[in-house]
């Protein structure tokens, strides 16, 4: 394996683990700190249920993205196809 290949595999694995961890952490924070008592008007047009649903969706998207990165097979480069030599007398 080349050093570049190992580095890209490691980056993919670290990114996947980070996404999974951040998704789970986001869900845990959502359970521990409900958005309704916090008086933050980031999205004033949304009600409590819509804000909760948006937070669950964001955490789930992060989790799924991380799982996809962790389980996706590595891309393999195609070998360069060399032109066949003409065999004299064939």
pLDDT value for 42? 67
pLDDT value for 37? 58
pLDDT value for 26? 86
What burial class does residue 3 get, using C-beta atoms within 10 Å of its C-beta: 0-12 exposed, 13-18 middle, 19+ buried?
A: exposed
pLDDT value for 1? 58
pLDDT value for 21? 92
Per-residue pLDDT of the chain (90 residues; tens, 9 = 90+): 577 777 788 888 899 899 999 999 988 888 887 655 556 666 677 777 777 788 888 889 999 999 988 888 776 666 656 666 666 665
Query: Domain residue spans in the chain?
Result: 3-71
pLDDT value for 47? 78
Cβ of 67: how many Cβ atoms within 10 Å?
A: 14
């Amino acid at each position: 394996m080349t050093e570049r290949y190992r580095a890209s595999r490691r980056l993919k694995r670290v990114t996947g683990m980070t996404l999974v961890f951040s998704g789970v952490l986001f869900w845990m924070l959502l359970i521990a700190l409900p958005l309704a008592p916090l008086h933050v008007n980031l999205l004033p047009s949304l009600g409590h249920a819509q804000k909760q649903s948006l937070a669950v969706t964001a955490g789930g998207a992060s989790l799924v993205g991380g799982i996809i990165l962790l389980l996706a097979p590595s891309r393999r480069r195609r070998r360069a196809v060399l032109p066949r030599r003409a065999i004299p007398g064939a």
